[in-house]
Every structure is written in C-alpha cells, then in structure tokens.
Amino acid sequence: MLIMAHVLSHIPAHPFNDIAGWIEQIAVLPILYRAGLMQWSELSFGWTLVAVYGITQMILAYAVCVPLERLRPLERWTTSKPILVDVFYTFLARVGVLPIMTFVLFYAAQVQLDGFLADRGYVPPMLETIIPALFGHPIITFAIYALILDFTDYWRHRLSHRFSIWYALHAVHHAQRQMTFWSDDRNHIIDEILSFLWFMLIGLLIGIPPLQFPILILMLRFVESLSHANTTLSFGKIGDRLLVSPRFHRTHHGILAAGQKSCNYGAVFPLWDIIFQTADFTRTPTPTGDPTAPEAMATGTYLAQQWSGIAHTVRALRG
C-alpha cells in the first residue's frame, strides 16, 4: 500500500517520514489527546505525512512558477493585493483541508466499502484485478490512476460550466482578474467538496490505496498550479498537446468575445479536449475574469467570496 519510494523515485522517502514523525509527536498527537480524538491516532502519521508532501509541493510550485512569472510575465499589475486571498486558498487546500479530506475521509470510506463487500463475498475493487498485467508494476499503475482521475476531472470541469447552478459556485475560481499560479485552489468550499466526492467515488471504484490518493491529487495539482501561472510559457506545438500549458489554460480563463464558447477544460492532459473537440490552440491570450460575477468574488476577502458564491447560487436557482 505504501509505495512512496516508487511513486517519487527521485525524492528520498525517509526524510519526509522523519519530518512527519517529528511533527506528529510534538503537535498532532498532543492536539488529538487534548481534543479527545485519540481514536484517530492510527491515522495521524498518514495525515501528517500527506501535509508534509503538501508543503513540499507548494515550495516546489513556488520555486518553479515565481521565476517564470517574473521573467516572462503575461500581464503586469500595479498591485498584487487581490492575489493574497489566493495564497490563503492554497495553504488551506494543500496543507489543511486537502490532507484531512483526501486521506482520512478516503481511508474511512475505503475501509467501510471493503468491509461491506467482503461481508457479502465480493472482492474489493482494484485496478489490478481488472488489468492483471499491472500486478508488480506500481509506477505504471500509478500513471494509469492519474490518467483516469484526469479524464473524470475533465468531465467534472466541463459539467460545472454546463449547468448554471454549478457554475455559480465555480465562478469563484474564474472571477480572479489577476490569475497566477496561486489561483488554482481558488474555489468555493462547496465546489471543492463536490470535486473531492467526485474524485473519491472514482478512487474507490478503481481501488486507489489511501496514501496514494492524496499524493495523486497533489501531483496533478502541481501541473494545475503551473497552468495557472501568469507567464507567456508554451510547451510548443507538440508539447501543448501532451500537457496543459499556461497558454492553453489561459484560453479557458480568458474573457470570451462575442460568439466564442468556453474551451480547454482539461486540467493536466489536453488529450480529452482534443478527443471531445473542446480544444482551442489558436486564440490569442486575453484578460481573465468573469464579467458576470459579483465584484466580491474578484476582490473580496475569503469569507466575502464564499458568501458571494452562495448568494450567486441562490440567484441562479431562482432563475
């Protein structure tokens, strides 16, 4: 179940384990003890390890994206104040909410599902049982997990633009007029929960191991962070068709001209946009934002954006 050394073969696992163990001992376990939640102590190391990986992923995204945004910026602004709330979103998603939801809750759901199926004589779902050739090949299996999650995320994202009620929540993500690599996690909490439930259902159906699940999400989101960066970077004619680049995704966030339709829904792989004919590699980059969204979504505080998303959804429900 724990194949971190295979998944992240170029990063030694032991330093992360040591750091996570130290944090667990001095912070996590004492908090659980004082809160009377020691029944979760068996999962505390896994949660802490995922949080450490989340912090590492944020540092890596910062190290890669900040130089790109400074050396090859697409836009320049007189103030970066609206971006600060996006930084908060990122910390919340990569270190706080995401590890709890994607490890603890996914683990609990998988235990319940496996127990339910085993009691009735069924074998819990695993990708390896569907494709026996994958046994003994964890890296290939991990890559297929990533492809499946990205494929299903393409449809989740596309549907969130298709239904006005759902888009009223998703508009929090699109309202930012100063899009940077921090903007990836700028989502309404309800939209974030819907995304997690979507991913969790797929993860349970194909039997993703609990500790691999959040690592998969973090790795996919690293590419998503890069794709939101304020940079002119393109991977070239061929590269842009293999991996979502900042230029490709910028088209998705750009304000639509008359007669244009939304496009480029893929999060990591443009393949799905190409197959389902929603890809556009030709548009000139335009300013980002959503002219139909309330101003609070673009420039408000975190709480103001969250409340605005709910109010916007209520208005959509009323038609």
- Please give the C-alpha separations between residue 70 and each of 78, 159, 222, 230, 246, in angstroms, as whole numbers: 14, 34, 19, 9, 14
The predicted-structure confidence for 9-61, as pLDDT tens digits, reads as follows 333 445 777 888 888 888 888 887 788 878 777 777 777 887 888 888 889 99
Q: Count CB neighbours of 40 within 10 A.
A: 14
Amino acid identity for residue 255 in this structure: I
Residue 57: alpha-carbon gap to chain centroid:
12
- DSSP tag of 123: P
Structure confidence at residue 150 (pLDDT):
96
Q: Count CB neighbours of 174 within 10 A.
A: 23
Structure confidence at residue 297 (pLDDT):
94
Helical axes 106-119 vs 189-206, angle rounded to 10° = 40
First to last CA, the chain: 48
pTM to 2 decimal places: 0.86
The SS3 assignment for 254 reads strand
Residue 168: alpha-carbon gap to chain centroid:
19
Query: Shortest CA distance to 184 belongs to which of 268, 282, 260?
Result: 268
Angle at the Cα of 236 from the Cα atoms of 230 and 238, rounded to 5 degrees: 130
Angle at the Cα of 117 from the Cα atoms of 115 and 118, rounded to 5 degrees: 65
Structure confidence at residue 6 (pLDDT):
38
The SS3 assignment for 76 reads coil
Whole-number Å distance between alpha carbons of 253 and 265: 10
The SS3 assignment for 69 reads helix
Structure confidence at residue 7 (pLDDT):
36
Residues with pLDDT less than 50, the chain: 1-13
* Residue corresponding to tokens 């190391």: 45
Whole-number Å distance between alpha carbons of 100 and 200: 13
Amino acid identity for residue 203 in this structure: G
